[in-house]
Amino acid sequence: MKKLKKLVIASTLGLSLFAFSADNTPTEAATTTTTHTVKSGDTLWKLGVAYGVSVNQLKAVNKRTSNVIYPGQKLVIPQTITAYEKDLLARLVHAEAKGESYAGKVAVATVVFNRVAHPEFPNTIHGVITERTPSGSFAFTPYATGSIKQPADAEAKRAVEEAIAFRGQGAGSIYFYNPAKITNKWILSRQTTIVIGNHVFAK
């Protein structure tokens, strides 16, 4: 996670908005797959951020064991995250981490991806963000309050793109909280992975 503080990569991918239905359920878009011809200056990291796919996924799909790529190579770009999902996550990041650093925003998005990959949580971004706890409350306050309906700013969108490229390479954080605002002391029993700004991240 520490390297997130050093990475500020501008996204070249535009994001579409999504609509909420009467029951507060967003509508979803379809996925696509494309091929990219490597140009001078390209790296797997830059391609991951630009196309919204993790470096690990790029390597796996293209059967590569190293991060080295050469101009003229053709790489399959698997788009496993839709524009709808990225926009939904960016809205969550905007609402949850407003006022936090860019690294803190990337870390919040990373928590969602880690939950998607974790067997104890739903296996989709939408499922994680809209999940209810055993007590019946929403796991993420912005979904309960409706603040997730507010458009994400450019930094939140960029943070999501970077979190996508970073996916699968972090410390495994599946929780984050502000120590000054917690009401349930249970979260303090979780192992801290990193502290960024006002948020403690844990697993």
Residue 197 has pLDDT above 80, yes or no: yes
Q: What pLDDT band is residue 142 in, cutting at 50, 70 and 90? A: very high
pTM above 0.85, yes or no: no
Q: pLDDT at position 18, please?
A: 34
In this predicted model, what pLDDT tens digit does every residue of 8-50 receive, in sequence order?
222 222 222 333 333 343 444 344 568 999 999 999 989 988 8
Domain holding 72, by residue range, is 33-78
Please tell me the total count of domains within the chain: 2
Give mean pLDDT, residues 103-117. 95
The whole-chain average pLDDT of the chain stands at 83
Quick one: angle between helices 102-117 and 83-96, nearest 10?
A: 130
Task: Verify that 8 and 52 share a domain, yes or no.
Answer: no
Contacts of 177 (CB under 8 A, 6+ apart): 187, 199, 200, 202
Give mean pLDDT, residues 172-200. 92
Q: pLDDT at position 81, please?
A: 84
| CATH classification of the domain holding 54 | 3.10.350.10
Q: How many Å apart are CA 102 and CA 97, to the nearest integer? A: 9
Task: Verify that 197 and 128 share a domain, yes or no.
Answer: yes
Place of tokens 């984050």: 176
Q: How many Å apart are CA 168 and CA 186, to the nearest integer? A: 26
Structure token pair of residue 93 = 């990041």
Task: Verify that 58 and 119 share a domain, yes or no.
Answer: no
Torsion-angle region of 52 (φ positive above 0: left; ψ -120 to 50: alpha; else: beta): left
Give mean pLDDT, residues 64-85. 89
Phi, psi of 150 (to 5 degrees): -75, 135
Task: Verify that 37 and 87 share a domain, yes or no.
Answer: no
Q: pLDDT at position 33, please?
A: 67
Q: How many Å apart are CA 197 and CA 203, to the nearest integer? A: 18
Q: pLDDT at position 131, please?
A: 94
C-alpha pair distances (Å), 186 with each of 24, 99, 113, 125, 190: 29, 26, 22, 24, 8
Task: Verify that 180 and 113 share a domain, yes or no.
Answer: yes
CB 98 within 8 A of CB 108: no
Q: How many Å apart are CA 144 and CA 173, to the nearest integer? A: 22
In this predicted model, what pLDDT tens digit does every residue of 157-175 receive, in sequence order?
999 999 998 887 888 999 9
Give mean pLDDT, residues 52-73. 90
Task: Verify that 126 and 168 share a domain, yes or no.
Answer: yes
Q: How many Å apart are CA 160 and CA 63, to the nearest integer? A: 25
Task: Verify that 155 and 107 share a domain, yes or no.
Answer: yes
